Structure 1
Amino acid sequence: MNSQELIKLNNEKREMLNEENEKYYEDMLVYLRLSFLKSEQETEELLNELLDHLLEAQEEGKEFTEVFGDNPKQYANELLGEIPKSMTKERFNLFLLGSFSFFASVLIFNGLIDTIMYYIFGKGSPMDEIFLGTAIVKSTLSLFIAFFFLFVITEYLKWSTFKDLNKYLDFFYLWLISVFSIGVFFIPIYFMPNFGESFEVPVYSYLILGLMLGLIVYSIFKFNGKSKKA
């Protein structure tokens, strides 16, 4: 079975867990799946093995901690040590998909806002001046900050697993991280001076380019899905 089929099977079998075991197992699932550098196939196979083992134990009247110990995070780290890392090609594809998805989202959002503001509300300009040097630096910096933001959120989610946190406090922490990251994202970009060769493009060209990148991302996802089924 490929990873997508294993995920579907896992979702179906997980419904048979009782409330307490489901809570612990889902924490384990989140913790393992957030380790992006590990092989997805091996991770999903391991998660299904753990689920089968837990379901068998549940039929015998046992709880999660009786099966996997009182320190599930330590056990999860031991399991991660046994899962092989993903191939360099898989990591590159993941980075490429993440980058394309990020730029597609930014371009579509900016293009849509600017196009609507000018052609519907008569605000702004139909053309936008681009400074090549500034655009390259801003794009590189934006991508770095986006991945850093993703890393911070991922590490926070991993840290919060297996903890009985207050939901409101948990939301506040996430909000604080998001506000800080967005501030870090916009401040250097806002104050960066323009430099390099300049040229003008229609504001709707951002929307077109964003949709093209989005189509590329969608095509890659479809291709990868078919490759895994083959």
Structure 2
Amino acid sequence: MKTNQMIEENNQLRRRLNHDNRVYYEDLLLYVRFKSFAKNEAQIESFLLDVLQDLVAAQKDGRSAIDYFGKSPKDVADAFLAEVPQNFWEMVKLTGIVIGSYAMSTILPSLTTTGKPIDLGVMLIAGMYALVMILLLFKYLADTIYHVSTWRLHKGLEWAMLWLLAVVALAPMFLIHLWVKTPLRVSLDGIWGIGVILLVWVIGGIIYLRLTDKRLWLPFVVVALLFGMMGIMARIPQFAPLLNIKLGRYLYVGLMIIGMIAFYILTYLATKKLKKSAS
């Protein structure tokens, strides 16, 4: 069975669990996935599916997850993960996905205007930083799943601290774009810029069509199409002069604002649907 088929079967089979068993299993699932970013994905998903099938069978016999697997699922997960070797190509794949996604998400907004070169070196450095932050986030999330805190913060203060940490983590990415300059700068005005936009559309379209669940990624597709069309219009001689007049600039900014509003609305609706289908 292919990995995406195992993930889909897992999503469907989890609906058969009662509330307590589902909470127990989903904690285990998240812990294993967060801790296994550099391990063979097929082995990880096979293990998770086997555990789920056993748990569903035990539930039919009237046994709870705690009765069947014990009160220390973390120990079971750690024992399994210790047997799965690190996979170099999984790390390469994750690196490519993160840096590629970051590049594709930043290059289209950069191409909405002309006259400014694209710094590929900065894109690579910022993408590597994003990869490090994601790996640290995975580790943090895995460590918090089975960690029982001995002290509690007020919920508002907890949210404030999370926002502060997010700002501290994301600030270097903006500073990299602001302060760092590399020789790997290319000008993508004219036909070359249009070609890159079309290439990004094709690559993004192929990736989107191969996704099992496309709902959460639809907002990104809409924004990518809008920014791409703006970039193409800026490189067409008949439309380019419009950007030099006041009304044209206002329309351009208005399209960008509409695009971001559409992105947040579609993201909210997609997230709401995913939560509803998961319940």
* Bucket of the pairwise TM-score, normalised by the shorter protein: 0.7 to 0.9
The 8 Å contact of residues 24 and 64 in structure 1, kept in 2 or not, is answered as yes
TM score, norm. by length of structure 1: 0.73
Aligned residue runs from structure 1 range 91-106, under 5 A? 91-106=91-106
User: What per-residue deviation string (whole Å, max 9, x for no partner) do you get for residues 64-104 of structure 1?
Assistant: 22222222223221121123433x34432332233222101
Q: Give the match for residue 37 of structure 2.
A: 36
One-letter amino acid of the counterpart of residue 55, structure 1: V
The 8 Å contact of residues 3 and 40 in structure 1, kept in 2 or not, is answered as yes
Q: Give the match for residue 166 of structure 2.
A: 178
Check if 1:156 corresponds to 2:140: yes
Of 30-39 and 66-75, the range deviating more from structure 2: 66-75
RMSD (Å) for aligned C-alpha atoms? 3.3
**Distance in 2, Cα, partners of 1:89 & 1:110:** 31
Check if 1:191 corresponds to 2:179: yes
Could you say if the C-alpha distance between residues 93 and 32 of structure 1 is closer, same or farther in structure 2, counting changes exceeding 3 Å?
Answer: same
Could you say if the C-alpha distance between residues 181 and 197 of structure 1 is closer, same or farther in structure 2, counting changes exceeding 3 Å?
Answer: closer
The 8 Å contact of residues 111 and 204 in structure 1, kept in 2 or not, is answered as no
**Distance in 2, Cα, partners of 1:76 & 1:139:** 36
Q: Give the match for residue 45 of structure 1.
A: 46
One-letter amino acid of the counterpart of residue 38, structure 2: L
Shift of 1:37: 1.0
Q: Partner of 2:136: helix, strand, or coil?
A: helix
Q: Partner of 2:16: helix, strand, or coil?
A: coil
Shift of 1:26: 0.6
Q: Partner of 2:38: helix, strand, or coil?
A: coil
The 8 Å contact of residues 6 and 44 in structure 1, kept in 2 or not, is answered as yes
Q: Partner of 2:116: helix, strand, or coil?
A: strand
The 8 Å contact of residues 110 and 207 in structure 1, kept in 2 or not, is answered as no
Q: Partner of 1:37: helix, strand, or coil?
A: coil
- Higher RCO, Cα 8 Å, sep 6+: 1
**Distance in 2, Cα, partners of 1:77 & 1:84:** 13
Of 43-52 and 53-62, the range deviating more from structure 2: 53-62
Q: Give the match for residue 65 of structure 1.
A: 66
Shift of 1:222: 6.4
TM score, norm. by length of structure 2: 0.62
The 8 Å contact of residues 117 and 185 in structure 2, kept in 1 or not, is answered as yes
User: What per-residue deviation string (whole Å, max 9, x for no partner) do you get for residues 107-140 of structure 1?
Assistant: 113334xx3xxxxxxxxxx41146xxxx354233
User: What per-residue deviation string (whole Å, max 9, x for no partner) do you get for residues 121-170 of structure 1?
Assistant: xxxxx41146xxxx354233212211112112212221222357887676
**Distance in 2, Cα, partners of 1:107 & 1:161:** 35
**Distance in 2, Cα, partners of 1:8 & 1:199:** 42
**Distance in 1, Cα, partners of 2:58 & 2:156:** 34
Aligned residue runs from structure 1 range 1-230, under 5 A? 1-34=1-34, 35-86=36-87, 88-112=88-112, 115=113, 126-129=114-117, 135=119, 137-162=121-146, 171-172=159-160, 174-192=162-180, 194=181, 196=183, 200-202=187-189, 209=196, 212-213=199-200, 215-216=202-203, 218-219=205-206
One-letter amino acid of the counterpart of residue 212, structure 1: L
Q: Partner of 2:140: helix, strand, or coil?
A: helix
The 8 Å contact of residues 105 and 210 in structure 1, kept in 2 or not, is answered as no
**Distance in 1, Cα, partners of 2:177 & 2:95:** 22
The 8 Å contact of residues 58 and 64 in structure 2, kept in 1 or not, is answered as yes
Structure 2: unaligned runs, 5 residues or longer: 213-279
Count of residues paired in the alignment: 207
**Percent identical residues:** 26
